[in-house]
């Protein structure tokens, strides 16, 4: 993403941008998720499962399952590996592919935050506000408007 948006240089900016992405996935699925489009339904479901359901279930049931529920967390390294293979097979170096895999997997958490933020706003009929991750781009956007 830093290659795409040259002003994104801090982890917090990346996190906010991922929150914004999760919000966009949820909104797209809400608006256009019905068949035949099914726009961003799969992506939203993946965010919900891996960003919310799996970690909450694994941690909430750890005592009940005597720790066995933590096995679910093994899915995260598998996701990293899957994204790594995709990036590496697409011509990225091993280091670039590893970073891609790590950040694609880690992004599930801020994306879940954005997804939940969208549905929370929808439930309580609160209008969405811009999730700005880059103050510099926000100023230039306002100047161009």
Q: What is the pLDDT of residue 73?
A: 98
Mean pLDDT of 17-23: 96
Instruction: Name the token pair of 17.
Output: 């941008």
For the cut 70, the answer to whether the pLDDT of residue 145 exceeds it is no
Query: How confident is the model over 97-128, as pLDDT tens digits?
Result: 999 999 999 999 999 999 999 999 999 998 87
Say which residue, 42 or 143, is predicted with more confidence: 42
pTM listed for this prediction? 0.85
**Residue-wise pLDDT tens digits, 45-91:** 999 999 999 999 999 999 999 999 999 999 999 999 999 999 999 99
pLDDT for position 9: 85
Return d(Cα 87, Cα 97) in angstroms, integer: 5
Number of residues that make up the chain? 145
Q: What is the pLDDT of residue 66?
A: 97
Q: Which residues contact 7 (CB under 8 A, 6 or more apart)?
A: 13, 134, 136, 137
Q: Which residues contact 31 (CB under 8 A, 6 or more apart)?
A: 39
The pLDDT of residue 135 = 67
If pLDDT is split at 50, 70 and 90, which confidence band does 129 have? confident
């Amino acid at each position: 993403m830093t290659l795409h948006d040259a002003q994104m240089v801090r982890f917090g900016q990346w996190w906010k941008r991922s929150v914004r992405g999760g919000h966009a996935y949820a909104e797209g699925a809400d608006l256009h998720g019905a068949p035949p489009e099914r726009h961003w339904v799969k992506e939203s479901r993946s965010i919900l499962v891996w960003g919310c359901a799996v970690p909450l279930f694994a941690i909430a049931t750890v005592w009940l399952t005597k720790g066995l529920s933590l096995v679910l967390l093994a899915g995260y390294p598998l996701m990293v590996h899957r994204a790594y293979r995709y990036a590496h097979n697409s011509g990225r170096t091993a280091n670039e592919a590893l970073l891609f895999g790590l950040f694609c997997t880690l992004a599930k958490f801020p994306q879940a935050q954005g997804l939940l933020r969208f549905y929370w706003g929808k439930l309580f009929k609160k209008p969405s506000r811009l999730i700005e991750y880059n103050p510099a781009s926000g100023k230039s956007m306002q100047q161009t408007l």
